[in-house]
Copies of this chain bind each other. A is one copy, B any other.
């Protein structure tokens, strides 16, 4: 038994999709979440900058006495995971690319897999690299979709404009007859409805957050670090002001956010 919290972080609100999975499936665990709202988005930034920002966040989470960390951000997972594991060898870390790869391997029949993500995630080639390492016969097609996040954040997710943008981005992937599409960014599950309208029933959508929560559970069980608190604590930290994040988080998680504070993250 270990009642210390799990640390989860992302560039902004997107990682709440992972928080939700942990709340639902690891109900006795406390959570410390950090969203880097002052420096969001990460997907258009360089590997060095993404690694530097992530290291500051991990140092902050360690100062909050977390027992393990989930990197909810695909941009961090695909660009910086080796460096971060080297910098912080003592804390168990789960990232999201491995889980997405695992799910796609189980799902695909034709062996033709699409991956959508930020510019930095696609440029890293991490998803195709790991998939083909598992099975050389796979065909993997990546596509950066930088407009998806702003469409979601500005409330256009179900508008005709979103449909047109999704259709244009996914056209080259659909032409390759993919049967599975990895949603390689935590924001993208919020576009599921529109993406389904474009890709139809023939393409399975894969959300790595589900499997990431399971991996965290496996690690905790294996190391006797689980917790079954009846009243787990959920604490949220952001780098910009609290109001907007609190509002979005309450809508998305369907529960009141009681503990939220701003952290001067560049000092960590």
Whether B45 contacts A38 by the Cβ 8 Å rule is: yes
Q: Closest residue to A241 on the B side, CB-wise?
A: B46
Chain A 144-157 interface mask (CB, 8 Å, partner B; 1/0) = 00110111011010
Whether B160 contacts A150 by the Cβ 8 Å rule is: no
A64 adjacent to chain B (CB < 8 Å): no
Number of identical protomers:
2
Chain A, 215-268, CB within 8 A of any chain B CB: 239-241, 244, 266
Residues of B within 8 A of A240 (CB): 45-46, 49
Interface range, A side? 20 to 34
Closest CB in chain B relative to A102 CB, distance in Å: 30
- Contact status of A156 and B161, CB under 8 A, knowing A45-B37, A45-B240, A49-B38: no
Whether A151 contacts B161 by the Cβ 8 Å rule is: no
Chain A, 173-206, CB within 8 A of any chain B CB: none
A151 to B39, CA, bound (A): 19
Closest CB in chain B relative to A45 CB, distance in Å: 5
A48 adjacent to chain B (CB < 8 Å): yes
Residues of B within 8 A of A25 (CB): none
- Contact status of A156 and B150, CB under 8 A, knowing A46-B240, A49-B240, A266-B266: no
Closest CB in chain B relative to A241 CB, distance in Å: 4
A165 adjacent to chain B (CB < 8 Å): yes
Residues of B within 8 A of A38 (CB): 39, 45, 49, 53
- Contact status of A151 and B160, CB under 8 A, knowing A38-B39, A45-B37, A241-B46: no
Residues of B within 8 A of A156 (CB): 147
Q: Closest residue to A239 on the B side, CB-wise?
A: B49
A110 adjacent to chain B (CB < 8 Å): no
Residues of B within 8 A of A45 (CB): 37-38, 240
A164 adjacent to chain B (CB < 8 Å): yes
For the complex of A and B, list the 8 residue pairs with the smallest distance between their C-beta atoms, beginning with the closest. Answer: A46-B241, A266-B266, A150-B150, A146-B154, A38-B49, A49-B240, A39-B39, A45-B240
> 5 new A-B pairs (CB below 8 Å) besides A37-B45, A46-B244, A266-B266?
A38-B49, A40-B44, A49-B241, A147-B151, A147-B154
7 pairs across A/B with beta carbons < 8 Å? A38-B39, A38-B49, A39-B39, A49-B240, A146-B154, A147-B154, A161-B168
